[in-house]
Chains A and B, each alone.
Chain A
């Protein structure tokens, strides 16, 4: 971060610091997001915004991006997440194999390719760049609870200081604030014409209406009843990799840092 411009610099009244709870709560089908009031002076002066996300088991936090880089701390639970970087290859791949996998024997097709997926667990910190699409899925037994701090004063954000979530899916969103007010908003597709999008994607208008989230009242955390299927390493292999990473971290700690 660079120092703020002179015109934006204001006196930080240090004697007015206070501990605050979230003031706005957005309930979705399979979870809830609680926002701290980013207009409060201490958040404004620090140039940050904060929110706490709870994702129920089998809950999918729909893909979204925001105008500020974020740090996510996993307070509880475990699951998977992925950030989609434009131009990066789809390195997780599953093609038809001569030996059908268990899922394919059960009739579930896993032929797909997408960008890398990461497993997260309690205690992890996840760094998310501004403008990069991210999704989270809770494949554990307990709710995932994560607290996020977004650095809206960061140079990567050229919009205003307000944290803005650009939802790629999920609409309309029902908002409830502490004052009991309600508001509805939609995803980014709602602002574009159905015909233009149908042409651009090469799909039917009906499919585009689904992308726009008409009549979808699940909010931005949805329940995936049958569990989410995607390409990923076997759990055993994942655990082995995690253990190797942990071992490497331990070795680095004992060696000290260079």
Chain B
């Protein structure tokens, strides 16, 4: 029994092969999941959507590039973390804390180790985000927004999912 269960168990998987990406955007980057591991890549100035990890802590190790990383706790009095992170650094993102990342001009690549074998992420913006699941009336009344503003909050990123391309009006795309 052990031989069947353990000895032949596959315990290695390559997550850098772009063909295996679970989420891919030519302009923004990709996310490759392997059970509890993820290897997202952000192109220059792209965003990793603000989100929280529902059931796990996330231990983020930077493999390449830089990013501005922001983490917000439940008090909301100010960022728990708002710094540039670079290759070789580790940041622990506590469960339920909201995190957002904006890649620097050379892009950003990292691997996240999650403390749960089936980690769940809840994005705040874009496709499958919490705002998509809320009625517009709830959004409008929660934030004192007009119906039009509420609609924009809900659909502002269209069908983009988790990794967002930089917006032209942001003016942050670096000159070559």
Q: Which A residues are within 8 Å of any B CB, using their own CB?
A: 60, 62-63, 65-67, 82, 84-88, 90, 92, 109, 112, 114-115, 117, 129-133, 135, 137, 156-159, 164-171, 185-193, 196-197, 199-203, 207, 210-211, 213, 216, 222, 224, 228-231
| CB contacts between A and B, total, < 8 Å | 205
Contact A85 B133 (CB under 8 A): yes
Q: B94 an interface residue at 8 Å Cβ cutoff?
A: yes
| 19 pairs from A and B in contact (CB 8 Å cutoff) | A62-B142, A82-B135, A85-B133, A131-B53, A137-B138, A158-B55, A158-B56, A159-B94, A165-B74, A166-B74, A168-B124, A169-B142, A171-B76, A196-B102, A200-B50, A200-B124, A202-B125, A210-B144, A228-B135
Assembly CA distance A133 to B120 (angstroms): 13
Contact B79 A191 (CB under 8 A): yes
Nearest-neighbour CB distance to chain B for A150, whole angstroms, equals 13
Nearest-neighbour CB distance to chain B for A122, whole angstroms, equals 23
Contact A86 B121 (CB under 8 A): yes
Q: B134 an interface residue at 8 Å Cβ cutoff?
A: yes
Q: Which B residues are within 8 Å of any A CB, using their own CB?
A: 47, 49-50, 52-57, 68, 70-80, 82, 94-96, 98, 100, 102, 115-116, 120-125, 128-130, 132-138, 141-145, 147, 149, 152-153, 156-158, 164, 166-167, 170
Contact B133 A185 (CB under 8 A): no
Assembly CA distance A165 to B82 (angstroms): 21
Given A63-B142, A86-B54, do A230 and B79 touch, yes or no (CB 8 Å)?
Answer: no
Contact A203 B134 (CB under 8 A): no
Q: Which residue of A lies closest to B166 (CB)?
A: A199
Q: Which residues of B contact A201 (CB under 8 A)?
A: 124-125, 152-153, 156-157
Assembly CA distance A129 to B73 (angstroms): 19
Contact B135 A200 (CB under 8 A): no
Q: Which residue of A lies closest to B157 (CB)?
A: A202
Contact A230 B167 (CB under 8 A): no
Contact A191 B156 (CB under 8 A): no
Contact A200 B125 (CB under 8 A): yes
Contact A131 B115 (CB under 8 A): no
Contact B133 A90 (CB under 8 A): yes
Q: Which residue of A lies closest to B172 (CB)?
A: A199
Q: Which residues of B contact A231 (CB under 8 A)?
A: 135
Given A189-B76, A191-B76, A192-B70, do A159 and B141 touch, yes or no (CB 8 Å)?
Answer: no
Given A90-B133, A114-B134, A228-B141, do A188 and B167 touch, yes or no (CB 8 Å)?
Answer: no
Contact A193 B143 (CB under 8 A): no
Contact A224 B55 (CB under 8 A): no
Nearest-neighbour CB distance to chain A for B101, whole angstroms, equals 9
The 6 closest A-B pairs by CB, nearest first: A191-B72, A131-B54, A202-B156, A186-B76, A84-B133, A230-B135
Given A112-B135, A159-B96, do A224 and B76 touch, yes or no (CB 8 Å)?
Answer: no
Q: Which residues of A contact B136 (CB under 8 A)?
A: 112, 114, 229-230
Nearest-neighbour CB distance to chain A for B67, whole angstroms, equals 11
Assembly CA distance A190 to B132 (angstroms): 21
Contact A211 B153 (CB under 8 A): yes
Q: Which residue of A lies closest to B155 (CB)?
A: A202
Nearest-neighbour CB distance to chain B for A83, whole angstroms, equals 9
Assembly CA distance A65 to B170 (angstroms): 31
Contact B134 A135 (CB under 8 A): yes
